[in-house]
């Protein structure tokens, strides 16, 4: 009897895999469907070698949707459903109009599963690389409450705000980074190629270079000699750091240290607070219970120290202590976050107050980035100017020494 490798979505919406013997593929599909599972793939393994199986498992994993496509798909689905279209027609519209080929293939498979009787949440759960637990949870809540269009609209807004926050942080750092690289490259060029041109001239004249010029040439020679090793050392440090951060304990310690840093830590705290309040407010607004919402929101923070604080606060809230108090005791989030969440709890308006807090924190993060960039650019420019001025001074000293020799 041939063996078949299969994957399916079970009743709980999780993707399960296995290898079983069956008379043929259709018999396996019928057996899985009788068990309440939605079959994603079922193919024979007898015709494959072990190497081919390994390649299929390790290299056949497909990348998911990018953030831009995800926001576009979510917004279009929300618009189509709000206009009264059924889910199948809305999915067909999105599949037919999206430009990204990978996204079209993923969404086409999701539409096929929905047409085969699967819920949208279960179909999305089968693509964990594209749709997070937060995304699937909001869609499942929308389907259960009959408010799928509104849930997708809120989800699209959440994704757009998160993308905007990330884009603002990254774009603001581009100019200082380019300026710093240009400064380092200019100094390296002067030290490595320009200054050494004077050494043969002085040797032919039987004179000695000025002390400042010799010192800079020594610095340039040292950097030129150890430069490749420094690059290798930096690369090794990055790889070791990434490997170490894969350990939960090391990652937790690093994230705690990050939040305590003077300027970067303040910016990180504002960013983490914005993510928490935006995600929490959106989930609560969608009808999700507080404890379940906190369990999903902590995964969107990107900081293990903040996630640990939210997990502890969720346990305290489950025992009736509320949310704001335990979060404040953790000392991770800004005081403004705690105060606004406490006001929301007291007024029974936690969801709208959390969303207002998110607006405030996102604006604070944007302003902080602008201030950091406004301060970093002149500092880099002045430091570069001083360094170049020192090198030019050494060059002028050498040139004046040549004139003295000529006289």
| Position 111 in a domain | yes
Per-residue confidence band for 337, with pLDDT thresholds at 50, 70 and 90 = very high
| Domain match, 53 and 117 both | no
pLDDT at residue 365, rounded to an integer: 85
| Domain match, 10 and 50 both | yes
Quickly count: other Cβ atoms within 10 Å of residue 227's Cβ: 12
Task: Give pLDDT tens digits for 89-148.
Answer: 888 888 888 877 888 888 888 888 888 888 888 888 888 888 887 788 788 878 877 888
Task: Give pLDDT tens digits for 321-333.
Answer: 888 888 988 888 9
| Position 405 in a domain | no
| Domain match, 154 and 102 both | yes
H-type helices in 206-263, by residue range?
211-245, 248-260
Q: Which of 160, 179, 210 is the last residue of a domain?
A: 160
The more confidently predicted of residues 64 and 28 is 28
pLDDT at residue 32, rounded to an integer: 77
CATH number at residue 355: 1.20.81.30
How far is 269 from 275, CA to CA, in rounded Å? 10
Phi-psi region at 352: left, alpha or beta (left = phi > 0; alpha = psi -120 to 50)? alpha
Average pLDDT score, the chain: 80
Q: Which of 32, 59, 86 is the last residue of a domain?
A: 59
Q: Specify the range with the lowest mean pLDDT, choosing from 8-12, 80-84, 175-179, 323-327.
A: 8-12
Quickly count: other Cβ atoms within 10 Å of residue 179's Cβ: 15
H or E element: which one contains 276?
helix 264-285
User: What pTM was estimated for this model as a whole?
Assistant: 0.63
Provide the token pair at 168. Answer: 């603002």
φ, ψ for residue 13, nearest 5 deg: 90, 5
195 in Cβ contact with 387 (< 8 Å): no
User: What average pLDDT does this structure show over 341-360?
Assistant: 91
H or E element: which one contains 146?
none
Examine the pLDDT at 341 and tell me if it is beyond 90. Answer: yes
For strand 38-44 and strand 3-9, is the pairing parallel, antiparallel, or unpaired? Answer: antiparallel
For strand 15-21 and strand 38-44, is the pairing parallel, antiparallel, or unpaired? Answer: unpaired
| Position 71 in a domain | yes
280 in Cβ contact with 299 (< 8 Å): no
Per-residue confidence band for 80, with pLDDT thresholds at 50, 70 and 90 = confident
| Domain match, 40 and 80 both | no
> Which of 180-184, 391-395, 398-402 shows the highest mean pLDDT?
180-184
CATH number at residue 44: 3.10.20
pLDDT at residue 339, rounded to an integer: 93
| Position 219 in a domain | no
User: What average pLDDT does this structure show over 238-247?
Assistant: 85
Examine the pLDDT at 62 and tell me if it is beyond 60. Answer: no
| Position 198 in a domain | no
Domain of 150? Answer: 67-160
User: What average pLDDT does this structure show over 173-190?
Assistant: 81
How far is 136 from 142, CA to CA, in rounded Å? 10
| Position 178 in a domain | no
Number of domains in the chain: 3
Examine the pLDDT at 54 and tell me if it is beyond 60. Answer: no
Examine the pLDDT at 356 and tell me if it is beyond 60. Answer: yes
SS3 3: strand
Examine the pLDDT at 212 and tell me if it is beyond 80. Answer: no
| Domain match, 30 and 80 both | no
How far is 58 from 217, CA to CA, in rounded Å? 52
| Position 221 in a domain | no
User: What average pLDDT does this structure show over 259-263?
Assistant: 88
pLDDT at residue 53, rounded to an integer: 38
């Amino acid at each position: 009897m041939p063996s078949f490798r299969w994957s399916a979505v079970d009743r709980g919406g999780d993707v399960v895999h296995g290898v079983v013997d069956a008379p043929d593929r259709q018999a396996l599909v019928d057996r899985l469907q009788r068990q309440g599972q939605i079959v994603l793939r079922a193919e024979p393994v007898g015709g494959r070698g072990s190497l081919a199986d390994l390649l299929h498992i390790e290299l056949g994993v497909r990348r998911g949707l990018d953030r831009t496509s995800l926001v576009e798909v979510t917004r279009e689905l929300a618009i189509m459903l709000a206009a009264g279209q059924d889910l199948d027609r809305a999915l067909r519209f999105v599949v037919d109009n999206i430009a990204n080929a990978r996204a079209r293939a993923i969404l086409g498979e999701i539409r096929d599963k929905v047409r085969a009787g699967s819920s949208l949440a279960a179909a999305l759960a089968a693509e964990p690389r594209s749709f997070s637990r937060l995304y699937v949870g909001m869609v499942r809540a929308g389907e259960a409450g009959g408010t799928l269009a509104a849930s997708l609209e809120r989800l699209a807004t959440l994704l757009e705000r998160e993308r905007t926050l990330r884009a603002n942080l990254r774009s603001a750092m581009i100019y200082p980074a380019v300026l710093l690289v240009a400064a380092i490259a200019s100094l390296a060029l002067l030290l490595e190629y320009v200054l050494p041109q004077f050494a043969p001239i002085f040797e032919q004249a039987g004179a000695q270079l000025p002390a400042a010029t010799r010192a800079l040439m020594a610095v340039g020679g040292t950097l030129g000699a150890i430069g490749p090793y420094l690059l290798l050392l930096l690369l090794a440090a990055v790889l070791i750091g990434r490997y170490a951060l894969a350990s939960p304990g090391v990652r937790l310690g690093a994230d705690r240290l990050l939040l305590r840093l003077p300027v970067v830590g303040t910016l990180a705290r504002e960013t983490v607070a914005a993510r928490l309040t935006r995600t929490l407010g959106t989930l609560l607004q969608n009808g999700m219970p507080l404890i379940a919402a906190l369990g999903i929101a902590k995964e969107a923070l990107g900081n293990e120290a903040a996630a640990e604080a939210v997990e502890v606060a969720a346990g305290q809230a489950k025992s009736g202590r509320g949310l704001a108090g335990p979060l404040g005791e953790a000392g991770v989030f800004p005081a403004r976050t705690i105060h606004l969440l406490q006001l929301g709890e007291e007024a029974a308006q936690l969801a709208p107050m959390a969303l207002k807090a998110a607006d405030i924190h996102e604006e604070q993060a944007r302003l902080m980035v602008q201030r950091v960039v406004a301060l970093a650019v002149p500092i880099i420019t002045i430091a570069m100017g001083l360094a170049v001025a020192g090198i030019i001074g050494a060059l002028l000293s050498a040139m004046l020494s040549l004139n003295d020799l000529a006289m």
